[in-house]
Chains A and B, each alone.
Chain A
Amino acid sequence: MACDNQTAGVAIIGYGTAGVNAAIALRNAGYDGTVRVFSDTGILPYSPILTSYYAGGEKAYDECFPWSADELGELQLEVLENCPVTHLDPQAHVVSTPRGDFPYEKCVIATGATPTTRGFPEVEGDPDYAPIVLRSMDDAERLKAAIEAPSCKRFLVSGASMVALKTLEACLNHGLECTLVGVNPHVLDFNALPEAAERFEKGLREKGVELRLGQKIEAVKRVDGGLQVTFSNGESDTFDEISVAHGMRCNLDFLDEGALEIDRALVVDEFMRTSDPDVYAAGDVAQATELISGEKRIVGIWKNAALQGACAGAAIAAELAGVQPDPAQALAGSIPSNTIAVNGTLFISAGTMELAPERFVEVREGDGMTVVYIFEATGEDARRLVGFNLVSDVDEPGGRAYDVGAMLTLRIERGCREKALAHRV
């Protein structure tokens, strides 16, 4: 669609899951005005989840793009490729870019997050060296090139999050000798309790992964034959490449301080509205209600980004049609949930891992699984499930572990609904 920067309409900043779903919902709701999408890349929206599969050789490049050009074309979007937003002025309703200023009636911020390498030291003898990160297709290209290089034999992953573990899997797929270093005592950071993490770690060790847990990288030096890493326990080792997964940072640099309410991300209501009624946020930049705590938190998972984007799009379409958004389409909130399989070892979690005083843990083993339940006491002899970890030595699609995982996730969701109802009553 041709670019006309005089027409206002809806601006979507970011062309990922949340942005695409906002656009789909706008059109599904009958909005036929201008939808202008600002993308900082020149490629179609991709799935960050699939980047590790691509790097690991499990997916072709083309398979990382969930939506075809035809499908996106049907949405009649005005997509400005390679057009990063440099400034958003909510008061003036203007989006600024290197290609000029664009007015809007309603705006969706869906700019996602960028991996941070904080804590990674400057490399002695190679100050320009930047460790590999994994989020974008460019990142995946770099990881793939690195691990497919014949010279790459030994790989260090720093961090123990989902991203770190998927990076590790990509390396294992290529037969590399892998080490994982993590500052916490266990893998899976805030997603797993020790009982589950230990079983997962056992699976990793059985696949030949060296785990350096409770340690961090103190220093890195470029030497003949690679990167010599000194760990916090004083030991050192040499690797051919290093990947870092030290967390994510919201992409909100285009906002002036105080322009919108920001805590860890943009604080939004149940329709994804920020503190400005004409600006919405979805995905990794949105801090919406997390159902178990009832607090506003970032739940940075694909499904959440999709649902939030869709919610924002539907609400905007309603408002632009002059009606109030349908309460039935509000997003009451979400619960964190994660599933990861690394070379056959499966981990599923949902809910909270925060062990408040009224919470207690039960561990059950059987059927080739360890299941860690986190319950919350809700009265005498009454309890509700608020979180779980499941680790299975077998990743069998459709198998018992997935059934149990889905079952427990639904049970947590039902508990949240019942709690919300009880509060309302």
Chain B
Amino acid sequence: MGLLECSDVYRKFSGQCTQCGHCTPACSSLVSADMTLGDIARTMLEAERGAASREEVAQRIAANPRLVQAVRGCFFCTSCKNTCFAHNDVCDLIYHARIDFQDLGLIEREAWSSVLVDQEWDIFTAYRAIHGIGYPDLTRHVENEYHDAGTDFDVAFFPGCSLAAYGPELTREIFNAFEELGVRATMIDSCCGSSLKSAGFFDRAEALCERNADEIVQAGAKQLVCVCPGCANDMGKVLARKGVDVQVVSLAKFLSDHGFEPRKPLPEGPLCISKSCQDRDGTYLAETCELLGIDPETPSIFHGCCGAGGAVSAFQPNRQAQQADEKLSFAPDGATVVTMCPTCTYTYAYRMMSAPRDISNKHYTELLFESQFDWDTTFYQLGSMWSGEYGSWLAEVFA
């Protein structure tokens, strides 16, 4: 190993890049940086070349604002990869660059201190604790005051951080639907670790997924049902690597396969589907459309990151808002924007709080179930918890 931990990855990537430059205009961050993906790999190697110490490498990188922009400004949306004639793997490249950035002390602590989701306290667990949101009765594979540790579940339900934290009633209604469909289910109310990866803690994210996988095995589940495509991707990779015979399915497909009928009609007005950038091959989009009873070719679809990806908001808060605005601008007045990933729903809701639009913003589960996200309350509670009785504790925990 050289001074950088991931030099091999950069060399490999630069080997596969033609330097055609086609990726750059696909991404506002690459445009700002005026770099191609190959440039990122090459510039990391240049910073390492001839440096005498890791400190010098760090100084060289920090002194290159274009490189910092390109690495920290990535949403992991793969717009650039999709445009790359060779479909080179940008996520692999940037995740590794973030590992080196983290290792070299180039990512400020404020950018990740509240999203260390493998620790006892992160922004989601703190929010849940402060506001009394918990699921001990649903995590049935874990022994607690409600039940012994079950080991014979059909399904492990993985709502993901945003849904579990900000949509407790919706989460419970979805879980109850499993029971109603005759499926024995338990719930994994942990995180897939994507925020850890964004912060450059790749190994910790993998370890978290491994722990989740162990829980799934312990629960005896044959299927892992994910709400968010990103969680499904991360958990699917780890389960496959461990050789665990657990099928990862989207909630939409699971419900379709079990004959679930939506509990309410679709909203009036045009539907505008926000395809999750984590839904790389469009499977979730197709499965969600099928469950909602709409032809995937009929509604207007927009793609790309909502602005929440890659922890860019910690680096450039304005870009998150700009990205959300750009995506929402595809939806005509009166439309309902339907998201695949609850974090996208959160991000759009957050943006629309300060920049209202004449559109409705719904996660697809809100079109299926009676329970809804209550974003006004959520944002109030998120904001007030920093100044209320828990304010000093939070400040200390996330310092």
Minimum CB–CB distance from A308 to chain B (whole Å) comes to: 11
Q: Which of A306, A339, A397 lies in contact with B25, CB distance below 8 A?
A: A397
What residues of B have a CB within 8 angstroms of the CB of A66 in the complex? 14, 17-19, 38
* Also in contact, A364 and B17, with CB within 8 A (given A402-B26, A405-B82, A406-B87): no
Minimum CB–CB distance from A4 to chain B (whole Å) comes to: 25
* Also in contact, A71 and B82, with CB within 8 A (given A21-B16, A50-B18, A398-B25): no
What residues of A have a CB within 8 angstroms of the CB of B23 in the complex? 397
B85 at the interface (CB under 8 A from A): yes
What residues of B have a CB within 8 angstroms of the CB of A293 in the complex? none
What residues of B have a CB within 8 angstroms of the CB of A47 in the complex? 18-20
* CB-CB nearest in chain A for B298: A366
Contact B19 A63 (CB under 8 A): yes
B304 at the interface (CB under 8 A from A): yes
B window 9-59: CB within 8 A of A? 11-12, 14-27, 38, 42, 45-46, 49
What residues of B have a CB within 8 angstroms of the CB of A116 in the complex? none
Contact A406 B81 (CB under 8 A): yes
Contact B49 A74 (CB under 8 A): yes
A window 300-358: CB within 8 A of B? 301-303, 306-307, 309-310, 337, 339
What residues of A have a CB within 8 angstroms of the CB of B82 in the complex? 398, 402-403, 405-407
What residues of B have a CB within 8 angstroms of the CB of A303 in the complex? 16, 85-88
Contact with B along A382-425 (1 / 0, CB 8 A): 00000000000000011010111111111100100000000000
A28 at the interface (CB under 8 A from B): yes
Interface residues on A, range: 35 or more
Contact with B along A4-47 (1 / 0, CB 8 A): 00000000000001001100110110000000000000000001
Minimum CB–CB distance from A170 to chain B (whole Å) comes to: 14
Q: Which of B16, B22, B301 lies in contact with A307, CB distance below 8 A?
A: B16
Contact B303 A302 (CB under 8 A): no
CA distance A27 to B27 in the complex (A): 32
CA distance A398 to B78 in the complex (A): 9
Minimum CB–CB distance from B84 to chain A (whole Å) comes to: 9
B391 at the interface (CB under 8 A from A): no
What residues of A have a CB within 8 angstroms of the CB of B8 in the complex? 28
A102 at the interface (CB under 8 A from B): no
Contact B19 A407 (CB under 8 A): no
* Also in contact, A49 and B281, with CB within 8 A (given A71-B45, A303-B87, A303-B88): no
B297 at the interface (CB under 8 A from A): yes
B79 at the interface (CB under 8 A from A): yes
CA distance A48 to B285 in the complex (A): 37
Residues of B within 8 A of A (CB): 8, 11-12, 14-27, 38, 42, 45-46, 49, 78-83, 85-88, 275, 280-283, 297, 301-304
Q: What are 19 A-B contacts with C-beta separation under 8 Å?
A: A24-B15, A27-B11, A28-B8, A28-B12, A47-B18, A49-B85, A50-B20, A63-B19, A66-B38, A71-B14, A74-B49, A302-B85, A306-B86, A309-B15, A398-B26, A400-B303, A403-B79, A407-B281, A407-B282
Instruction: List 5 other contacts, CB 8 Å, given A303-B85, A406-B81.
Output: A21-B15, A24-B12, A66-B38, A302-B85, A402-B82
Residues of A within 8 A of B (CB): 17, 20-21, 24-25, 27-28, 47, 49-50, 53, 59, 63, 65-68, 70-71, 74, 301-303, 306-307, 309-310, 337, 339, 364, 366, 397-398, 400, 402-411, 414
Top 3 nearest A-B pairs (CB, nearest first) are A398-B26, A406-B82, A410-B281
